[in-house]
Structure formats: C-alpha cells, structure tokens
Chains A and B, each alone.
Chain A
C-alpha cells in the first residue's frame, strides 16, 4: 500500500523568504506525484506533477519540486514567497500505470506567510 507523509503540519515564513515543504512517500511500486494547493474554503488546485522524465518539475506561481527516488521524496520549494501563497499544501501520489487512479494524500502543510 502507498502512503504519504508531510513532515511539517505548519510552516511560518516571512514574505520574500525561501520555503521548502517536505513530502516523503512509501510505495513498493512506481508512483506519480502531485502537489495541490487549497485556499480557505476552496477546492484543490494542481500546482505541479511528476509523471516521468526530468526530476525537477516546475509548476504554477513560481513553485518547483524535485523527485528523489532514492530518498522517496518530492519536496516543494519556492525561492521567494508572497503573502498570497498563504494556503494549505497537499502532496499526493497515485500508482504508476494503475487502472484506478485514486490519489493518496498527505495530511497537508499550512503555509503562513507573514509581512
């Protein structure tokens, strides 16, 4: 079975500082990896995804993530955050080539950007 661990439940950071949100996964088979963002009282929006190819993935809003197979990690980074990045971020996996496709989510990391 697959599982996702987001190591930090809350990350406070000052505006224009860099940020890294950590995600580790466990799976005996290959997976696809995703980061989603959820603003208060809204649905989830895809930030970026890793399906194959380059391990450095660039997404929307200046975010990027790096897939590290040996460490089973997919950490999300942004070099300079804005107040508007305050939201909850979810890491998720699904089976590579699986016929079901349901996503398995971590518990989320609340990013709080302070002025």
Chain B
C-alpha cells in the first residue's frame, strides 16, 4: 500500500512565477490536509479538502494561494506570483476519516523562490 505521494520533491521558481504542488493521498483516503513548514517553525495548517470540496481554508493566505482536490487525480496546491517569503516545505497529509483521526504525511515539496 503506497504512502502519500508528493511531487515534485524540490521546486525552484523565480519571483512572479506560478508553483503547482501535487499530492496523491493513500489509497482509500478521501481527506487531504496541506501544511507549510517555514525554517525553524513547526508545521502550520493551510487547508483541508475532501473530494471536490474545500472544507476548511482558514490557514490559507487570502491572495495567490488556492487548492483543489478533484474527483479524479491528485490534490493541487497552487501558488501564483510567488515571492521569496513563499520559500518553505509544503507537506500534504491524508486521512481515511473526517476529524480527529491519524494523518499520514507525504515527504513534502521544498519550494525555493529565487
């Protein structure tokens, strides 16, 4: 049973470009969470999605960031017009149940904005 997959593992973008981060949850999991880890900080919740629905986006910056989890295919975190402050590790986690359960993390995508 494959774990949570994320790609790319490393992504370099110039300021102003778009970044697309992909996350394939574990088989049978329909709940996906995105977290951001800044240097010397713990992980911060960004958004929680279930298939085709955004359940909670209270941790997402109001501008330039969006997320989706279509019926078919991986979950996508999109960052438009990236800035240097977006440089971070972005982790995806999946869960088989809604709320309170164990989350399984992917290896992360390390975004560097030059």
The CA of A32 and the CA of B91, in the complex, are separated in Å by 21
- In the complex, the answer to whether A44 meets B105 with C-beta atoms within 8 Å is yes
- A100: Cβ under 8 A from any B Cβ: yes
**A49–B102 touching, CB < 8 Å:** yes
On chain B, the residues within 8 Å of A4 by CB distance are 42
For the residues of A in contact with B, the DSSP-based class is loop
Contacts of A94 in B (CB 8 A): 99-100
Q: How many residues of A contact B (CB 8 A)?
A: 29
A27-69 CB contact bits vs B (8 Å, 1 = yes)? 0000010101000011111100101000000000000000000
How far does the Cβ of A26 sit from chain B's closest Cβ, in whole Å? 15
Which of A's residues lie within 8 Å of B, judged by CB?
A: 4, 6, 32, 34, 36, 41-46, 49, 51, 90, 94-108
Interface residues of B (CB under 8 A from A): 4, 6, 31, 33, 35, 40-45, 48, 55-56, 59, 91, 93, 95, 97-108, 110
